[in-house]
Amino acid sequence: MATPTSELTAEQIWTVEEGEKRSVGVIHIVICALLIGIGFVVGAFGSISFPLGFGVNFFWTGIAVQNVGAIWFGAWGVIAAFIFPFFSNGIAGTPFYVSAAYIPANLFQALAPAWAFRFFKADPRLNSVRDYVILLVAITVSNICGALYSPLVVLKGFGLLTAESVPIFIWGWFGGNEVAGIILNIILMKALSGVVIRTPAFVKKWWA
């Protein structure tokens, strides 16, 4: 008999039980495609509505798709996380080569929280202070890395920023991701994680 979702512990959520069969299926490919589509729409909204330039903005809604998508769907969410910014940034006029150079930052912003929740067996339903702390630390560390890499290495490296504008873009990237991430991640995870963890699409390891 299946354990009710409300009775599942964080350890059980991420543990493949004896006799439980998990494999990659069409549902995972569909989920990845859906995340790319959703990320494109919400990411473009952030890039157009709160722009700073070159895909950097003051409230980037796409970060929630990167963070939550990777926590729920593992590698499929990570894949979507570095693909959809090509489209959402493109709508905002960001050159393709800049979006391509952003890949390491977008990968890490999805990978860090996904790894943290699996490694520390945090509950995606955010049922304890510990779960909130793990979420906050993971997204903050990943946003700091992204905010340092993208303006300093990518934009400054391509000669697209002046020395005076670099700090603005660093704080814009970090603040735009951090604030949107905290607000939207908590809303989505509290509202939907209890349902998602019971679906065949939920990924306990990385691929299934």
For residue 18, what pLDDT is reported?
Answer: 85
Give yes or no for residue 2 having a pLDDT over 70.
no
Give the pLDDT band (50/70/90) at residue 175: very high
Strands (E) in 68-166, as ranges, are none
Contacts of 118 (CB under 8 A, 6+ apart): 14, 74, 204, 205, 206
Element containing residue 57 per DSSP (H, E): strand 56-57
Contacts of 206 (CB under 8 A, 6+ apart): 74, 75, 118
For residue 67, what pLDDT is reported?
Answer: 98
Bridge partner residues of 91 (DSSP) = none
**Mind listing the pLDDT tens digit for each residue in 5-18?**
668 999 999 999 88
Give yes or no for residue 29 having a pLDDT over 90.
yes
For residue 135, what pLDDT is reported?
Answer: 98
* 80 burial level (CB within 10 Å; 0-12, 13-18, 19+): buried
Give the pLDDT band (50/70/90) at residue 76: very high
Q: Residue 83 CA to chain centroid, in angstroms? A: 12
For residue 3, what pLDDT is reported?
Answer: 60
For residue 49, what pLDDT is reported?
Answer: 85
Q: What percent of the chain has pLDDT over 70?
A: 97
Give the pLDDT band (50/70/90) at residue 48: confident
Integer CA distances (angstroms), 133 to 86, 92, 195, in order? 31, 33, 22
**Mind listing the pLDDT tens digit for each residue in 119-168?**
999 999 999 999 999 999 999 999 999 999 999 999 999 999 999 999 99
Structure tokens at 5: 């979702």
For residue 5, what pLDDT is reported?
Answer: 62
Q: What's the pTM value of the predicted model, to 2 decimals?
A: 0.94
Give the pLDDT band (50/70/90) at residue 87: very high
Q: Which domains does the chain have, with CATH numbers?
A: 24-196 (1.10.1760)
Structure tokens at 79: 């894949």
Q: What percent of the chain has pLDDT over 90?
A: 90
